Structure 1
């Protein structure tokens, strides 16, 4: 086994010293060692990919579709993306010049921030937030600026946004809006989207609108930030959550042609292009009535699971903003328990073999909360709630 030459260890990008390993993954790895552990830690849909989508991937492979596709993705998939965005959200994009197919929404996040940031640029992050944005901002030379939204039911208010702009001024390069939200499941109403857009329109701030959970909204209809602010919004989405295709690694971004042309440089030099068979599968998912029906079937079951977990945990004393989308519960630990969320989650895992994620993993405003994913079977969730009930009844401060 080779051992790195000592001097090599000082050769890396110094910004990597600012980055810590994913707290979510680290905690998940830690509790995975516990026998009989039941994990509700990761946002991984439990559904299988529908057969007609798998068939499209198989057909691509058997048809020897094995050569480089266009860097921005096959035209067929980009057209499917523009049709999807138009039909579902009333958005108008040109498939040839305003869409890039990415290796999951994760690569889209990396490509956008790496393209945008210069040293010292600030990125507004309404928190709690999906943690990936933090290290990518740091490695890109930017500075994350957290706006704690916990006092407003985890929604960024116009007043909060105005205050952040007053405080940080022209050094703000971008703002990230993730809705429906990971980790809270909270989303924005049309009025709330419009109010933020009206403020941002008078700035040069780029809006990175991560709408990967847009198809998984329950009582409300998703409204994209690009509806009101298309000229400065970079829209991120994909099929990982809507069609349980996390392993296929298909995301996409859309925006003004001049912006997308710039983003395409980092994308091209990072991944060249996305896997052909995965793009064929995603085209089937987005372009067919069957693909639409797949999402509706999954969403119906997610809603039933949400209601069951929400009702059970509320009865146990957890304060929870009822999720309007995605598949997460973000629950405040009852006051009779110690408020250290990492200790709470670790104790729950060790004593009752139930794993949830400490809320502090998601930035300011997450302290004293835990996140769990209900992207699991109802039988698994019933077992989880039985374990949680037992723990809550037997444990106190």
Structure 2
């Protein structure tokens, strides 16, 4: 088998056999296939695409390139949730203990933030004492004992994907649906889940900017899940404006605690209930999404979800007192209010601009090597549809001590410009655009 023959085969629009895909992935991971040949193959895929079967084979080959967690000792159906990334995406912090309180075992491996999208591991590490590292044995033991554990990705999970993604990043082949879908799903399969709920963001703050592209990506990932024997559901959720009211690590944990206390913003609560309802159905804890939502609402109102959060935090070395008093989190004491330049209604908030502003404050990474400040970020005082008077606050910037006034003024202007103010109240924007399962696409 020769690499050049497989490049030409894909270039000419033919399907590759499973053995041919395994040959490419194994050879590239071991360094036997050079970057220039793999880049040529990725470009051929970019233009020619891959069939559902090919994409599933690619996913499994990348998953098998490194460690694969065996979660079979965990009792019950292990249901994972994955987000494609957004601004203020605090969902896991709320949803993991919420789903666990309803009896769904949550054994989750999460990542760190990069660019304007935040990472769950960074957020959890803003809780004093919280550790995101543990052995596989301790990970399994914690889920069996407490129902939930969230850890960072190990160094040898899907090394083929890490290597191929770095190559795609510099060869113009990132925006390929089969390659994106297999990248995401290879990590989910290596992490050992029985069932997967995907939160596919769409809009200005998301990787996929249009609903059409988001649905295409969701369909590809659900197809991979089906082909590889995992029950998979994808929910397309809105990311035209930030989710919730906080963007930044400790700020988002504080918001998550407030949400579990029953004081969360409507959009964050609804997103968690929607995704959680599918987790309960796949985990066989409810017969329908409607029944599952009712169960989750009762867990929130009874305080059981908050109690599970505190139990989860304590199990991983964190201070469970943050569940009673989120002010124990280290949030920067230096803050600046961004005023409204005119009165009216908030017609739109550009999510990506808010995310980039938070990154400039130090809450996000420009590169993987960047050091972030867990105490900084942006607090949104007004969301779309809210009325505001001239001079009233739109948002609050939490800044690090060493940040110059010039930089703060520039960031404040960026946040101010991210707000579209208009004379009339805007129409209500849908939060959930579509649900994709092996049975097709439905529009709620």
Q: Same-fold call, TM > 0.5?
A: no
Q: TM-score, normalised by structure 2?
A: 0.30
Ranked by relative contact order (alpha carbons within 8 Å, sequence separation 6 or more), the top structure is 1
